[in-house]
Amino acid sequence: MTQKLITSLIAGAISAALSANALAAAAAGDWQPTKPIRMLVGFAPGGGTDTTARAMGVKLGERLGHQIIIDNRPGASGNIATEITANAAPDGYTILMGTIASLAINPALYKKLPFDPLKDVLPVSQTVDSTNILVVHPSVAAKNVNELIALGKSKSLNGGSSGVGGAGHLALELFNLQAGTKIVHIAYKGGGPAIVDLLSGNINLIFATAASAVPHMQTNRIRALAVTTIKRSALVPNLPTISESGVKGFDANNWYGVLVPAKTPRPIINRLNKEVVAVLNLPDIKDILFKSGLDAAPSTPEEFGAYIKSEKDKWEKVIKAAGLYQTN
C-alpha cells in the first residue's frame, strides 16, 4: 500500500469521524453550524423561489453564524434540486427551498420520481404563500366569481396559463372541478405571452401571479375578480377570495418552504426552524417579500409536513380528474 493511499485513507477516516461527531453533537441537542450552509433552489435566478431564498439568506446566515450559499439547480420543475437534497448528508449543511411543484404536483405528473417528497426530505418550515389572482378581460361580462360561473356554464370560455401542470393551470382545473364550469385551458410558453394575449382579448381569463396582474389591474386593462388562496392577500386586501365568493373551500396556493434530507437529527431541524421563523418575522424581510407579491408564512415542521401531504393529495385528485398525462 502506497504512502499516498495510506494518507488518503487516514484523511477519509478523520473526516468520517468528525462528521459522526458532529451528528452526535446535533443529536444531543447542541447543534451549532461550523461552516457555510448550502441552500438549493430548483429554479433560475430572478423567480419567486430564488427571490425568497436570497431575501432570507443573508439574515439567516447572520443568525446561524455562517454564510448561506444559494445554489440554483433549475430543471424538471424543481425535481433536480429536490433529488440533490434527498441524497445529501443529513447534517444540516444542505437545505432546500422547496416548492409546491416538486413536493405536491410532480408526484402525480411524473410516472417516476427519484425521490419521495414525504419520506426522503423532512419539513423545517413553510416560508411564503404566493397567491394567484383570477383576472378577466374587460369584455367578459362578469363582475364577480358567481357571474363568471354562470357565464362559464352558458357559453364557452377559455383561460391561459404559463404551461401544463403549473400553478395557474391547476388553479383553473380546480375551479372547473369545484365550480362545475368547463373553461378550456390554453398553454403558453410562459406567463408573459399569456398576459399579452389576455390584454389583447384573445383569451378570456387567467389565474395570474400577483406580480404580473397588479400593474394591469391598476390601469384597468384587466379586471380582477378574486384571489386563489383561502385567506385574503395583504398585497390586494380588498379582493375577496374565490372561497368567500361562492366556491367554498377553494384554495390554490403557490407556496415555498425549507426542507432537509431525511434522517436529519431533530435538534438540527429545531434550530433551523427557530431561525427561519425569526427571519420571516423581520419587518424588512416581510417588506421585501411583500413587494415581490409574496406573503411570509412561517410554520412549525409538523404544520408544514401536514400541509405538504394535504396539498399532494389534493392536486393528485385534480390532475387525475383533469386527465393530465404523466411525464417520464
CA gap 167, 158 in Å, rounded: 16
* C-alpha cell, 302: 409538523
Helix (H, G, I), strand (E, B) or coil at 158: strand
Q: In what order do the strands lie in the sheet with 256-261?
A: 68-72, 37-41, 94-99, 256-261, 121-129, 295-296
CA gap 6, 126 in Å, rounded: 46
CA gap 318, 328 in Å, rounded: 19
Taking the CA atoms of 254, 256, 260 and 266 in sequence, report the sign of the dihedral they define.
Answer: negative
pLDDT of 190 reads: 74
The answer to whether 289 touches 127, Cβ cutoff 8 Å, is: no
Q: Where are the alpha helices (DSSP H) in 28-133?
A: 48-64, 79-86, 100, 106-109
pLDDT tens, 81-138? Answer: 999 999 999 999 999 999 999 999 999 988 889 999 999 999 999 999 988 999 999 9
Amino acid in the structure at residue 171: A
* C-alpha cell, 136: 378577466
b/e per residue 289-312 (b: at least 16 CB within 10 A): beebbbbbbbbebeebbebbeebb
* C-alpha cell, 5: 493511499
pLDDT of 18 reads: 47
Mean pLDDT split into 10-residue runs, the chain, 328 residues: 52 50 52 96 88 95 97 92 98 96 92 94 96 95 96 94 85 95 89 90 93 90 95 90 95 95 98 98 94 91 98 93 75
* C-alpha cell, 161: 396559463
pLDDT tens, 41-61? Answer: 998 888 889 989 999 999 999
- For residue 22, which of 41, 5, 37, 7 has the smallest C-alpha distance? 37
pLDDT of 201 reads: 95
pLDDT of 56 reads: 97
The answer to whether 25 touches 265, Cβ cutoff 8 Å, is: no
CB atoms within 10 A of CB 220: 8
CA gap 60, 262 in Å, rounded: 21
What domains lie within the chain, and their CATH numbers? 32-130+255-322 (3.40.190.150), 132-227 (3.40.190.10)
* C-alpha cell, 233: 392577500
